[in-house]
Structure 1
Amino acid sequence: MKWLKEERFQYWKRWGMLLSRLMIIGIVLIGVSFGSLYLLAVIMGAPEIQVPQTTIYYDHDQNVIDESNKNGQNRYWVKLDNISPNVIDATLAIEDRSFYTHPGFDFKRIGGAILADLKAMSKVQGASTITQQYARNLFLEHDKTWKRKIVEAFYAYRLEVHYSKNEILEGYLNTIYYGHGSYGIESAARTFFGKSANDLTLAEAAMLAGIPKGPGYYSPYADAERAKNRQETVLDAMVANDSLNQSEAQQALLENMALQAFNEETKQEVAPYFAAEVKKELKSKLALDERVIDQGGLHVYTTLDADMQKTADQWVASSIDKNSDIQAALVAMEPTTGAVKALIGGRDYEKSKFNRATMAKRTPGSTFKPLLYYAALKNGFTPSTLVRSEPTTFYYDNDKETYSPHNYGEAYANDEITLAQALALSDNIVAVKTHMFLEEKTLVKTAKDFGIKSQLSPIPSLALGTKPVGMMEMADAYSMLANGGKSVTPHFIEKVTDRDGKVIYQHEAETEVVLDPAAAFVTTDMMTGIFDESLNDYTRVTGSGIDHLLTRPAAAKTGTTSTDSWMVGFTPQLTAAVWIGYDKGEKLNYRNDGLYAKKIWANFIEDALKGEEVLEFEPPKNVIAVDVDPQTGLLANENCPTKRLAYYIEGTEPHELCADHLGLAEEERKSPKGFLDRFFQWIR
């Protein structure tokens, strides 16, 4: 019997040693496998995380004005520190209690899932950790196959090797789908409760944490009772996970949450034409492609003033007959910086995405005249220079061609009028005479100095704006006058940051003195004349119908052709250009269409600057102001019925008193009494 016991002992000893060796070999193999897996994960490096994110556009006050949520997908990325702790606790409790201790997958949950699947003979139960779900959201499809699960586990392990637990949790919370186009907790918080993820209450966090298991099933928009039951399940899990006590869970369950009214319709953009220009600028200035612009999670800080844009939209919509096919465009920009504050490219973006403010070129008419008179001031003319207004035929091209312009309504002074009056009354004859005197090429060169890039021709009619130009060009040119002769570049973007908050573009203003400041200011002062009834003569100043709408100093010019109606002007703070016309060049009916541009411009300027300080145009040092008689352009005397304060480049101001209202004997008029009078008479 002894030898039998010994033989059995030796038998089990051999099996024991074999099992021990096998266990050692197994442990070694597992160790080598895990070591190899770790080495492979290290060699392969961190998986590149490219999560599509919604690009957000802001106005100048950093209010959201647009988002690139194409196909109804909203994606925002927020730091873990900016997510309510309630969300974190609720998510961990219901999704992955062992998140901070497992290496990317939970063996206990995997074992339970395998048994359940074997029992059902199909893939019925998941055991995915938060890391695995994050890996699936980033790199894999959502089909339930063993191959996908194995690959998912490897991706999860790579994430665990190269990223911290908090980084993984942050990524998961920013990519998980909550239904209704909302990807990530920030989007879900906005969609369901109209707030940021950082401000979610315990009840709201528990409600949202329960949705990802079945976004179309547990959403409160789909079934409120089912969502409430799921919320209770989440709160119970939090109690079991020691995240809160039973009393806190019960209190949260009773909370009356303010759920947002859900609307599947696409939100109307604040300024669609403006937004389109911003995207163009992202491509041209930053060289970004469509994918980065739409899914790069950029934060684009624009120049838009949302209140000004709303004002512009309201006045364009309310000023034009709704049944009219006429089109309208408006540009408003800050003259000192070139920042575009409001933009309308047409009456309805959905019907026509063609941006008439930036893409169309139309004949500017008399809005081109301020450029001409600036050139005249630079070449010896003054606001008091007298030019005869009467029907005139002009010869050009070596006298081979003729040009016979007409004043509006065939009205003429048939006498001399001052240059200041000619601009205020929009006299075409005086404009062409001045243009021809300077030689036609002078205006072409001057227009280029003003930033006009459109093709111009040195022809007599150029003085009347017969060559097409863009609205942005005209707004830019007028801004140079408002800015004291300094050039500005119209722009739509101030700053762009990437998804991590790093600044990738910052607008830097570049200004250069291009125009003569004195001549620019005197031109500006002449442009205020369109609102000054004292300059009325054979007709009224062109701003007479809207001057009562303005409560602040403004300089402007109207422009009309058979197919285009313009109003362009500025205050010290704001330049605005308005255009009215038909896309196909149909002729305007001025009884119905003629006043649209002027009324829109004046009302917009007033409302846009409401509450802003009323500023005067500040003259430079080499400009002098004198009181003149507006009809003669000479120094006003005490007997002149009307006086107008006018500005001149120093040394060009009038020195002779107005003789029409002196009330003196003819001899006394011809013989100035004072020494200075005699001196000025002598030097003439």
Structure 2
Amino acid sequence: MSASRNLVKLAVGCAAGGALVAGILAPVTISAGVVAADVSDSVIQITPASISTALPGVTTITDRNGSPIATIFDQYRITVPGDKISAAMKNAVVSIEDRRFYQEHGIDPQGVARAAISDATGGDHQGGSTITQQLVKNYLINVVDKDNPAAQAADRADKITRKLKEARSAIELDKHMSKDEILTDYLNVVEFTGKIYGVEAAARAYFGTTADKLTVAQAALLAGMVNNPTTFNPYTKAVNAQRRRDIVIDSMLANKAIDPQTAAQAKAEPLGVTGPNVPPSTCFSAQPDAGFFCQYALTYLQQAGITQEQLTNGGLTIKTTMDAHVSEAAKSAVEGNVPTKQPGIANTMAIISPGSTSHEILALVANRNLGTDQSQGQTTRNLVTEVSDPFGGGSTFKIFTAAAALESGKATLDTPLPNPPSQCFQMPGNQKCYTVRNDGNYSDPISLTTGLATSPNTAFVGLELQVGVPEVVKMASRLGLRTTMQTNDAGAKPDPNSKDPQRSQTQTDYFQDKPSFTLGNSPISPLEMANVPATLMSGGVWCAPTPILSVTDAAGNPVNYQTPACEQAISSDVASTLMTGLSQDTVSGTTAAAAHAAGWTRPDVGKTGTTQTNESVVFVGGVENYAVSSLVFADGNKPGTICPGNPVRIGNCGHGAFGGTVAAPPYFKAMQAILGR
């Protein structure tokens, strides 16, 4: 009885194998027309060109000199050509997966029949798939359908239609590709474990080497894993992995790829794996001075038209404008001013290189670091580029009033401005007047130049009303606060459903009739504040601050993205005049004492700002080819007065900190390190 049953099973297996081979070679003979259509459709999906160009790869972000900052990827894969893969690796895969690889033409009829008979008679399950077929299957699972679990399940389904599709595509590939091309693509496509894909990434992750240097023992381990990366994981199932490795070595010996002595030596070696050493795939892995820059570079490129898919799977090289020397100096300066873990206080610094054709960002740093551990002073929010300072720029906004006055001819640098200790300004249509007081003793009247250096309030509110508040508000956007002015008075996207105009309107709309604007009591972006002096230093030319020098694809070809055009925001004459007006701040103005203490003697431009309750203090300025903003502001859940000292802190300290005493010193320290004393 047993013998007859086995004969029946054998007959069934032979019939099944023959039918499957016939179906592969001529799918139109399959009884169901749907099956034939499905098979034909699948052949179109996979071509030699698509395999060689569409593999998900690692995107690398670098500084301006090409030094890596971070890597971004979904699949850790580093594609390499065939001559960068060792002969041992190629021989190992062929020996264990497809011994007749170099003789067959995409499919192996003997293997198909053998697998069908083995399955029908209850023997070991055998796939019968060639390396070319496995390339097709892995390409569908790991590339075409990588984001579609349902489709991936269909790619793995043990159904005749799936196998027919796979085989027909394999035959087509074999017609158009050399054996070495097929083997190379296969070794670049396959998964090993986790996020590790392709032999080069596996060589680096498991052995700290490269694919061209893989030994027989190492190659055998990797070749054995592709059958089932989970079952043969050398870290979690070392016994299984070693047994499988040794089977591969025996197959290499049987296939005459190695001699007995080499086989014995390879089997005697330990697994020898390290790691797995897979680099992080987010900007959180960047050095502390580069995390915010990395994050902004990705945000910038997405806004410029490069998709998330391109960024995480495109194998791009993104060369940023970050200057490592400048960034390190700025990071040291802000951390020296406010320690990273100091509760409740952030110190940001943005540095831009001015220019008439681009404003390249050189540094984006804060005392905080990019990360998820708040106890270590980390934050996931980009404090340097977002509208993150909710309290404002204080008197730095007087730059906009001065620019509007100079442009309109309402004032020159020598114009005497009325400057009483306090004044109640009558607003059109309002019964109550707007009262303003100076914080300190000033001459009355005061020139615009002296006013920019010493920052009285009444003189600038009066000048603002003379010029017109709308013109001053418009000037803020023109000189640099493009994104800032489109947020609401909470620094967020306006909420049209809110009944509170501070929440429903943009800052541009909200401040149209509010002379308090020149006193800088609205949320700001540190990066955009740095772009204000950059615009002035560029002869009045505004350019969007850019973090990108170039983007290239895996083949080294340029990747296009959109960039805003630069524009003449104000005339070069107005910009030059205003620069002259801002040149006295570190000489005789609000930062003179800090400049003297720092030994600062370089000619520069600058303006400080302090909000009314000392919750934000600011310095913006520039020297040589560097435009800078240094902002110190409360960033905790219970904001309060910022107090000077060592360390700078939130507390009760009488008058509190000022832009000249707390925000300017990091500027001096950073610039001295960058330029040399």
Same fold (TM over 0.5): yes
CA contact (8 A) 1:185 1:197 kept: yes
Specify the alignment match of 1:475 in structure 2. Answer: 530
SS in 2 for 1:182: coil
Contact 1:546/1:599 (8 A) holds in 2? no
Question: Following TM superposition, by how much is the alpha carbon of 1:198 offset from its aligned partner in structure 2, in angstroms?
Answer: 5.0
In the alignment, the residues of structure 1 paired with residue 77 and residue 573 of structure 2 have an alpha-carbon distance, to the nearest angstrom, of 53
Q: From 169, 172, 179, give the equivalent of 1:165.
A: 179
The one-letter code matched in structure 1 to 2:449 is A
Aligned pair partner of 1:186 in 200, 206, 209 = 200
**Which residue of structure 1 lines up, in the alignment, with residue 93 of structure 2?**
91
CA displacement at 1:369 relative to structure 2: 2.1
Aligned twin of 1:358: 386
Q: Is this contact kept in 2: 1:58–1:302, CA < 8 A?
A: yes
Contact 1:542 1:558 in 2 (8 A): no
Partner-residue secondary structure (3-state), 1:404: strand
Which residue of 338, 346, 369 maps to 2:398? 369
Residues 206 and 464 from structure 1, CA distance in 2 versus in 1: closer, same or farther, beyond 3 angstroms? same
More off after superposition, 228-237 vs 511-520: 228-237
Aligned match of 1:137 = 138
> Mapping of 1:70-109 within 5 angstroms?
73-109=75-111
C-alpha deviations, 1:494-526, integer Å up to 9, x for none?
444445554331566743333332432343344
Would the alpha carbon gap of residues 465 and 607 (structure 1) be closer, same or farther in structure 2, given more than 3 Å must change? Answer: closer
C-alpha separation between the residues in 2 aligned to 1:107 and 1:513? 72
Query: Is residue 590 of structure 2 the alignment partner of residue 560 of structure 1?
Result: no
Report the Cα offset of residue 476 of structure 1.
2.2
Contact 1:530 1:544 in 2 (8 A): no
Tell me, in whole angstroms, the C-alpha distance in 2 between the residues paired with 1:262 and 1:307: 32
Establish whether residue 331 from structure 1 lines up as the match of residue 350 from structure 2. Answer: yes
2:433 to 378, 402, 408: 402
Alignment of 1:508-657 (within 5 A): 510-532=565-587, 535=588, 541=591, 544=594, 548=598, 553-561=603-611, 562=613, 563-579=615-631, 580-582=633-635, 586-591=639-644, 592-593=649-650, 602-603=665-666, 606-607=669-670, 610=673
Distance 1:37 1:609 in 2: 81
CA drift at 1:185: 1.8
The alignment status of 1:421 with 2:450, answered yes or no, reads: yes
- For the pair shown, the structure with the greater C-alpha radius of gyration is 1
Change (3 A) 1:395 1:416: closer
Cα-to-partner distance string for 1:450-504 (whole Å, 9 max, x where unaligned): 1434214254333322344443432222210122222211233444444555433
Change (3 A) 1:547 1:406: farther
Offset at 1:393?
0.8
Corresponding residue SS for 1:557:
strand
Aligned to 2:15: none
Give CA-to-partner distance per residue, 1:544-581, whole Å, 9 cap, x none: 26861757554332211123222222333333323322
Given the alignment of the two structures, is residue 281 of structure 1 paired with residue 300 of structure 2, yes or no? yes
In structure 1, which of residues 392, 405, 409 is the aligned counterpart of residue 422 of structure 2?
A: 392
Partners of 2:68 and 2:243 lie apart in 1 by: 35
Gap change, CA 1:405 and 1:413, over 3 Å in 2: same
Are 1:330 and 1:577, in contact at CA under 8 Å, matched by a contact in 2? yes
Native 8 Å contact 2:350 2:530 kept in 1 = yes
Q: Is this contact kept in 2: 1:554–1:570, CA < 8 A?
A: yes
Q: Quote the Cα distance in structure 1 between the aligned partners of 2:315 and 2:106.
A: 27
Indicate yes or no: 2:244 matched with 1:213: no
What one-letter code is carried by the residue in structure 2 that aligns with 1:269?
A: S
Task: Name the SS of the counterpart of 1:570 in structure 2.
Answer: strand
Tell me: CA distance 1:221–1:566, structure 2 relative to 1, closer, same or farther (3 Å): same
Matching residue's letter, 1:106:
D
Whether contact under 8 Å (2:58, 2:312) holds in the other structure is: yes
Long gaps (5+) in structure 2: 1-17, 31-35, 141-153, 486-507, 651-655
Distance 1:291 1:511, change over 3 A: closer
Unaligned runs of 5+ in 1: 1-25, 615-684
> Kindly tell me: are residues 125 and 569 of structure 1, through their superposed partners in 2, closer, same or farther at Cα, counting changes over 3 Å?
same
CA distance in 2: counterparts of 1:196 and 1:559, whole angstroms: 55
Matches within 5 A, 1:455-474: 455=508, 456-474=511-529
Identical columns (%): 26
Whether 2:476 is the aligned partner of 1:447: answer yes
In structure 1, C-alpha distance between the alignment counterparts of 2:211 and 2:24, rounded to whole Å: 43
How far did 1:197 drift?
3.8
Judged with a 3 Å threshold, the aligned counterparts in structure 2 of structure 1 residues 114 and 443 are, in CA distance, closer, same or farther, namely closer
Question: Partner residue of 1:175?
Answer: 189
- The whole-number CA distance in structure 2 between the counterparts of 1:274 and 1:318 is 20
Distance in 2 (alpha carbons) for counterparts of 1:406 and 1:234:
85
Secondary structure at 2:285's aligned position in 1?
A: coil
CA-CA distance at 1:327 after TM superposition: 4.1
The Cα shift of 1:176 comes to 0.9
Q: 1:253/1:386 Cα in 2 relative to 1: closer, same or farther (>3 Å)?
A: farther
Distance 1:395 1:180, change over 3 A: closer
Secondary structure class of the residue paired with 1:53: coil
- Please tell me the residue identity of whatever aligns with 2:304: K
* Alpha-carbon distance in structure 1 between the residues aligned to 2:265 and 2:435: 87
Distance in 1 (CA, whole Å) between partners of 2:623 and 2:215 is 49
Q: CA deviation at 1:601?
A: 6.2
Closer/same/farther in 2, CA of residues 227 and 606 from structure 1, 3 Å limit? farther
Which residue is 1:128 aligned to?
Answer: 129
Q: Take 2:208 and 2:101, find their aligned partners in 1: how far apart are those partners?
A: 29
Per-residue CA deviation, residues 223-245 of structure 1 (Å, 9 max, x unaligned), is 66765665565556556656566
Structure possessing the higher relative contact order (Cα contacts under 8 Å, 6 or more residues apart): 2
AA of the residue aligned to 1:128: S
Conserved 8 A contact 1:389-1:417: yes
Which residues in structure 2 correspond to 1:191-270 (within 5 Å)?
A: 191-194=205-208, 196-197=210-211, 200=214, 204-222=218-236, 234=248, 237-238=251-252, 241=255, 259-262=273-276, 268-270=284-286
- CA–CA separation in structure 1 for the residues paired with 2:210 and 2:279: 21
Partner residue in 2 for 1:640: none
Three-state SS of the structure 1 residue aligned to 2:560 is strand
SS at match of 2:516: helix
Corresponding pairs, count: 577
2:69 alignment partner in structure 1? 65
**Which whole-Å CA distance do the structure 2 matches of 1:485 and 1:526 have between them?**
15
TM-score norm. by structure 1 comes to 0.70
Secondary structure in structure 1 of the residue aligned to 2:304: helix
Q: Kindly state the Cα deviation for residue 368 of structure 1 after the two structures are TM-superposed.
A: 1.4
The amino acid across from 2:345 in the alignment is I
Question: Relative to 1, partners in 2 of residues 1:392 and 1:325: Cα closer, same or farther, differing over 3 Å?
Answer: closer
Distance in 1 between the 2:608 and 2:479 partners?
A: 18
Equivalent runs, 1:3-22 vs 2, <5 Å: none
Query: Is structure 2 residue 340 aligned with structure 1 residue 340?
Result: no
Q: CA RMSD in A?
A: 4.4
Aligned-partner Cα distance in 1 for 2:24–2:120: 29
